[in-house]
């Protein structure tokens, strides 16, 4: 089978960027998803309430990026980030939290997160961080 994007003179076939959003609060998932859909309409966004579900999805979806809450039931975001970075080192993880404590920032960095965003400033900070990581 020939990919139309590989034909001489053909425009490349765009592939949607897959992003996983992981937060145990449905209202937060909805709000962040709304921001992402508005700011990055071409991205394919998959949302999960637990780290375990997100890890399953990483295996089948291989996202370019994971936006991970730090406090989750079961496996927390720091642990999940460590697993993601060990299994899929090419996947970027952005950690988010209601708490802006330095210990959380340090834990996220140690686990392999490329950025940390406070949920209190998410509308202002997340777009800037994500635009720097992935093209629209």
Q: d(Cα 67, Cα 52) in Å, to the nearest integer?
A: 14
* pLDDT for the residue numbered 99: 87
Q: Is pLDDT larger for residue 8 or for residue 132?
A: 132
Residue with tokens 């709000």: 31
Is residue 12 in some structural domain? no
* pLDDT for the residue numbered 1: 33
> 61: domain CATH number?
3.40.50.2300
Is residue 78 in some structural domain? yes
pLDDT band at 7 (very low <50, low <70, confident <90, very high): very low
28 closest CA partner among 118, 134, 132: 118
Pull the structure tokens for residue 69.
Answer: 């809450």
In terms of residue numbers, what domain contains 61?
Answer: 36-133
pLDDT at residue 135 above 70? no
Total domains, the chain = 1
Whether the model pTM is above 0.75: yes
* Each residue's pLDDT tens digit, 33-86: 999 999 999 999 999 999 999 999 999 999 999 999 999 999 999 999 999 999
* Each residue's pLDDT tens digit, 86-102: 999 999 999 999 988 89
């Amino acid at each position: 089978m020939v990919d139309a994007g590989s034909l001489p003179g053909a425009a490349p076939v765009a592939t949607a960027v897959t992003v996983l959003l992981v937060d145990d609060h449905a209202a937060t998932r909805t709000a962040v998803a709304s921001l992402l859909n508005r700011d990055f309409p071409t991205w394919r966004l998959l949302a999960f309430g637990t780290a375990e579900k997100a890890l399953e999805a990483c295996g089948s979806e291989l996202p370019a990026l994971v936006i991970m809450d730090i406090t989750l039931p079961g496996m927390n975001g720091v642990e999940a980030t460590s697993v993601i970075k060990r299994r899929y080192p090419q996947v970027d993880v952005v950690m988010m939290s209601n708490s802006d404590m330095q210990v959380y920032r340090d834990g996220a960095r140690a686990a392999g997160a490329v950025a940390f965003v406070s949920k209190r400033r998410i509308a202002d900070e997340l777009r800037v961080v994500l635009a720097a990581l992935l093209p629209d």
